Structure 1
Amino acid sequence: MLEATKHGIVEFIEKMKVVRPCLLLAIDSDSRGIFSYAILYRRVKIFNFIYGLEETREHITSLKDKFNNNLLHLAGMPAPPSELVRRSGAALQMQRELQWFQAVERVVHPKCKEELNIDCQKPRELFTITHENLMREGEKWAQETARSFTVVGTLIATIMFAAAFTVPGGNNQFTGIPIFLTQKQSNQSSKFWVFAVADAISLLTSSTSVLVFLVILTSRFAEEDFLVLLPIKLIVGLSTLFISVVSMLIAFCAALQLMLDVKATFIIWVYTLAGLTILSFVAFQSPLFLEICRSTIKSEFLPNRRIQNWY
């Protein structure tokens, strides 16, 4: 039973519950049962299944091991490396650990938060001590990521700022109005507006991205920041950076179409290559972006709706 829990084989636990329900109370030499193993090894399905058994739930959730650790102490211990690597980046791994600790915190008795183990440590104190290195690695990962994207955002903002004052076709020397803006033939005015709007969007979004990543670089990186605040900043920074890249390519294509009197085939090829550039950016960056969104908005380590604080 304990080995099945350790490896997440919930089907075995469910079958044995029907055949020999007394085995649900099996413990090892450290007085840790299957619920303790489910918490230590982050086995969400088994955690939910065992907690859903009302007849044994109260007894199981009140157990302590021989080191006087309650279930919340066990949740404060670091996850196995095989579980941590499921998240890319130490910051997301730290977020995952915090989510799991809070999930267990909601289902144990409130007094568990203040109980001491054999080392006179409360669950939260144990969590802080055992995750100190992971938090430092998460801070380093977040800063390196923000620093890299800040360089990209700054470069885009610089280019688009310069393009705003050196518009295609130049300006009228008497009025200062862009020449293409006053031309009605061949839809030149419409194309110029596409360039102008795309340039403005790219400049503003890249500037926003740079500011967001600068905020990350100067953050205090407290434990709770890894739970929601830091991931939200990364989501906003990556989203605005993506919009700025797309807008920059649109502005480039519009400017090229304005400046060159070429055939439609050439323009189609230019837009196609620009689309491939956008797709390559999405292909390389979307996995990280989607993982951050998924782990922040819908965590796999939160109990399902039937698991609520029953005290």
Structure 2
Amino acid sequence: MKQTTGSYTITTALIIIMVFSTIITVPWGNNGETEMVIYKDKLSYMICCYSVWISFFTSTSLLLFLSILTERYAERDFLKRLPMRLIFGLVMLFMSVTTMVIAYSAAFYIISVSEHEKSKSRHLVPICLMTSLPISLFVTLQLPLLVDLISSTYGRESLVTKRSLRKQHKS
């Protein structure tokens, strides 16, 4: 659990760094005279902004992973507390990666396609396909761990294990 959590901590820290830099450098665009945001009324700009913020706030899964690393590792912590933190951390990491890729795709769309109104529909399909590739790859590779954690923590087998451990502690 420590090794897995350590890897996720590094991954989440990198996501926070990338998303924070994106928050600072969102493709604003200005009209040269008034410094007003040109793209503020476009849907792609709003998708980019909201996705970046959702990704940033779900990157707080770093705190869950750090709390696992600093836990005291008592026997009963492994039954509920630590797996629950890892499950919530993984779900938040999934959300963070997904919204980060959506934000970068929206930013790419704003930068490359917004200037050329005629080519919108032609570029939108490849952008969506390329966006779905890293998301589906990440989910495919990490989802089995999440399913195993949920089934071992909240499944039928875990209830039998918990009851037997409670009986051992009472005697």
TM-score between both structures, scaled by the size of structure 1 = 0.47
Higher relative contact order (CA 8 A, sep 6+): 2
1:153 aligns with 2:12: yes
Q: Which runs of 5+ in 2 are unaligned?
A: 161-166
Structure with a larger share of its residues in helix = 2
Residue 255 of structure 1, CA deviation: 0.8
1:296 alignment partner in structure 2:
153
1:291 corresponds to which letter in structure 2? D
Q: In structure 2, do the counterparts of structure 1 residues 241 and 173 end up closer, same or farther at CA, with 3 Å as the change threshold?
A: farther
Q: Which runs of 5+ in 1 are unaligned?
A: 1-141, 304-308
Aligned partners of 1:178 and 1:143: how far apart in 2? 45
- 1:70-97 per-residue CA deviation (whole Å, 9 max, x = no partner) reads xxxxxxxxxxxxxxxxxxxxxxxxxxxx
What does residue range 1-311 of structure 1 map to in structure 2 within 5 Å? 142-170=1-29, 177-181=36-40, 184=41, 189-206=42-59, 208-261=60-113, 263=119, 264-300=121-157, 302=159
1:204 corresponds to which letter in structure 2? F
Give the RMSD, CA atoms, in angstroms: 2.1
Aligned partners of 1:164 and 1:171: how far apart in 2? 17
Residue 170 of structure 1, CA deviation: 3.5
1:149 corresponds to which letter in structure 2? Y
- 1:251-302 per-residue CA deviation (whole Å, 9 max, x = no partner) reads 0111111111263233211211211211111111000000100111123254
2:51 corresponds to which letter in structure 1? A
Aligned partners of 2:67 and 2:81: how far apart in 1? 11
Q: In structure 2, do the counterparts of structure 1 residues 143 and 173 end up closer, same or farther at CA, with 3 Å as the change threshold?
A: farther
Aligned partners of 2:95 and 2:146: how far apart in 1? 13
State the identity as a percent. Answer: 37
* Cα contact 1:209–1:240 (8 A) shared by 2: yes
Deviates more, 1:169-178 or 1:192-201: 169-178
* Cα contact 1:169–1:259 (8 A) shared by 2: no
1:270 corresponds to which letter in structure 2? I
Aligned residues: 156
Which of 1 and 2 has greater Rg? 1
Aligned partners of 1:230 and 1:301: how far apart in 2? 14
Q: In structure 2, do the counterparts of structure 1 residues 301 and 225 end up closer, same or farther at CA, with 3 Å as the change threshold?
A: closer
Residue 166 of structure 1, CA deviation: 1.0
